[in-house]
Amino acid sequence: MLAKYSLKLPKAVYAGEEAVDNLAAILQSEKAERVVLFTDKGIEAAGLCSLVTERITKADASFSIINDIPAEPEYSAVQRIADRIGPDCPMIIALGGGSVMDTAKLVSVLSGCTVRDLLGNPRLGRKRACTIMIPTTAGTGSEATPNAIVAVPEDELKVGIVNDSMIADYVILDPVMIQSLPRHIAAATGLDALAHAIECYTSLKANPFSDTFALKALALIMGNIEKACDDISAIEEKRMMQIAAFYAGIAITSSGTTAVHALSYPLGGRFHIAHGVSNAILLSPVMRFNMPYCLDRLASAYDASFPEGERDLSREEKAEAVITRLEEIVRHLGIPRSLRDFGIKDEDIDSLASSALEVQRLLVNNARPVSLEDARSLYLGLM
Ligand SMILES: NC(=O)c1ccc[n+]([C@@H]2O[C@H](COP(=O)([O-])OP(=O)(O)OC[C@H]3O[C@@H](n4cnc5c(N)ncnc54)[C@H](O)[C@@H]3O)[C@@H](O)[C@H]2O)c1
Ligand SMILES: [Zn+2]
């Protein structure tokens, strides 16, 4: 465990029923006269935008809407949006999943630099806009993190840009935003949060701050994810998933994800597998690979996640029970088990493994060192 660690958080977080009602007061306290609302077509079609625009109008602010943010955007798409908005952009509201929030966070720090510049040196970003994150998936936890992920097609990879100035000023977690999330999106995004929680808890960067949030997120997700995805009326379970995804995001901020996310990035960058789905496929194989190096951690993850479970078990049995539960959840939620289902062929494995090894930002956090050969065998095991 780290000897030095920190926790950086948004200025204020509003959660629970009708939390979106706080928006007008936030805008008034920030003396916002003009707002740019970032969203996408799926969220617009789900009828969520008016919940936000009504509150902007109530605060006597004017607004414009960017409604065409692509899912899992390439860095050049984010740049085009920033160019359309221009230099004068004092207040940004992001209403959406990770794709919308990451785009908004990047645009909020593009002051005298481009997204491409940030890929080379994330520290160049300087805050130029106040940001309010309203997540509509549960989720990436992007509302809590200083990270934004963009696809870099020329490298066939997704790349994380990290800059503390991208931590949101305000977060609104209103369950109405995730109530009618389609099942396949709820499943993929919920599994992403599950990966965040268990990766951060077993990360070499784990610390008392991140442990608190990662373990709580893990227990909440293990107990609620299936019902939250299966049952449209399971409001309480959905609410728990929203809180858990936020906690898992805080855990990322203080600790960090590991080899699941590192091996997932080339699958997203080259084969366009949705972020949550690629993590879900890798989740139990990577945890099984890591198991001998983080037995104590997996055993305490068992104790936290299954308070009513059998106590009289060895560390190995507890770790095995956690991994078996991960497999059960991934299977239940209908995630494909083979990379072949996404058009990946045996001859792609070598280059996928080389690309994954480039994600040292995350691999250095993994409890077990990952060699090129290890990455190859992990991918091959999924063929
Ligand atoms: N910044 C971070 O810390 C962080 C962490 C993990 C992942 N990410 C990134 O986030 C992106 C993925 O975000 P995501 O998984 O939230 O999905 P997303 O934002 O890409 O959205 C996926 C789809 O769901 C739709 N959708 C979202 N909310 C909806 C709702 N309430 N009702 C109906 N449709 C809805 C969207 O329109 C979109 O078509 C990836 O690029 C990933 O790399 C970022
Ligand atoms: Zn993720």
Q: What pLDDT digit, counting tens, does each position of 190-206 carry?
A: 999 999 999 999 999 99
- What span, in angstroms and rounded, lies between the C-alpha atoms of 223 and 56? 36
Q: Is the pLDDT of residue 89 over 90?
A: no
Q: How confident is the model at residue 251 (pLDDT cuts 50, 70, 90)?
A: very high
Which of 67, 100, 140 to mutate to test ligand 1, by most ligand atoms within 8 A of the CB atom? 140
Residues 46-75 pLDDT 10s? 999 999 999 999 999 999 999 999 999 999
For residue 93, the model assigns a pLDDT of 98
Residues 19 and 162 in one domain: yes
Residues 100-139 pLDDT 10s? 999 999 999 999 999 999 999 999 999 999 999 999 999 9
Residues 114 and 197 in one domain: no
In a domain, 206, yes or no: yes
Residue that is last in its domain, among 138, 157, 177: 177
DSSP per-residue letters across 78-141: HHHHHHHH-S---EEEEEESHHHHHHHHHHTT-SS--HHHHHH-GGG----SEEEEEESSS---
Q: What is the CATH number of the domain that holds 237?
A: 1.20.1090.10
Please check whether residue 137 is in contact with residue 275, taking contact to mean a CB–CB distance below 8 angstroms: no
**Residue numbers of the domain that contains 156:** 12-177
In a domain, 5, yes or no: no
Return the higher-pLDDT residue of 45 and 337. Answer: 45
Domain count, the chain: 2
Residue that is last in its domain, among 156, 177, 198: 177
CA of 4 to the centre of ligand 1 (A): 32
Residues 143 and 207 in one domain: no
Residues 236 and 158 in one domain: no
Ligand 1 pocket, residues with Cβ under 6 angstroms: 40, 42-43, 46, 71-72, 96-100, 102, 136-137, 139-142, 145, 147-149, 158, 177-178, 180-182, 185, 189, 192, 252, 275-276
Nearest CA to ligand 1 atom 22: 71
Please check whether residue 364 is in contact with residue 319, taking contact to mean a CB–CB distance below 8 angstroms: no
In a domain, 1, yes or no: no
In a domain, 314, yes or no: yes
Q: How confident is the model at residue 177 (pLDDT cuts 50, 70, 90)?
A: very high
CA of 312 to the centre of ligand 2 (A): 33
Residues 64 and 142 in one domain: yes
Average pLDDT of the segment spanning 253-276: 96
Q: Closest ligand 1 atom, CA of 45?
A: 33
Residues 144 and 268 in one domain: no
DSSP per-residue letters across 157-223: EEEEEE-GGGS-SEEEE-GGGTTT--HHHHHHHHHHHHHHHHHHHHSTT--HHHHHHHHHHHHHHHH
Residues 303-325 pLDDT 10s? 999 989 999 999 999 999 999 99
Q: How confident is the model at residue 3 (pLDDT cuts 50, 70, 90)?
A: confident
Residues 339 and 192 in one domain: yes
Residues 127 and 268 in one domain: no
The residue to which tokens 């972020």 are assigned? 275
Which of 89, 11, 87, 93 has the alpha carbon at shortest distance from 57?
93
Q: Is the pLDDT of residue 150 over 80?
A: yes
In a domain, 7, yes or no: no
Residues 156 and 251 in one domain: no
Q: How confident is the model at residue 185 (pLDDT cuts 50, 70, 90)?
A: very high
Residues 297 and 329 in one domain: yes
Average pLDDT of the segment spanning 277-281: 98
Please check whether residue 199 is in contact with residue 261, taking contact to mean a CB–CB distance below 8 angstroms: yes
In a domain, 246, yes or no: yes
For residue 301, the model assigns a pLDDT of 98
Q: Closest ligand 1 atom, CA of 102?
A: 1
Ligand number nearest to the C-alpha of 251? 1
In a domain, 372, yes or no: yes
Please check whether residue 98 is in contact with residue 136, taking contact to mean a CB–CB distance below 8 angstroms: no
Q: How confident is the model at residue 2 (pLDDT cuts 50, 70, 90)?
A: confident
Percent of the chain with pLDDT over 90: 96
Nearest CA to ligand 1 atom 28: 136
Residues 28 and 135 in one domain: yes
Q: What is the CATH number of the domain that holds 137?
A: 3.40.50.1970
Residues 270 and 330 in one domain: yes
Mean pLDDT, the chain, whole residue set = 97
CA of 255 to the centre of ligand 2 (A): 13
In a domain, 99, yes or no: yes
Residue that is last in its domain, among 127, 150, 177: 177
Please check whether residue 11 is in contact with residue 170, taking contact to mean a CB–CB distance below 8 angstroms: yes
Average pLDDT of the segment spanning 367-377: 98
The residue to which tokens 């104790």 are assigned? 303
Ligand number nearest to the C-alpha of 158? 1
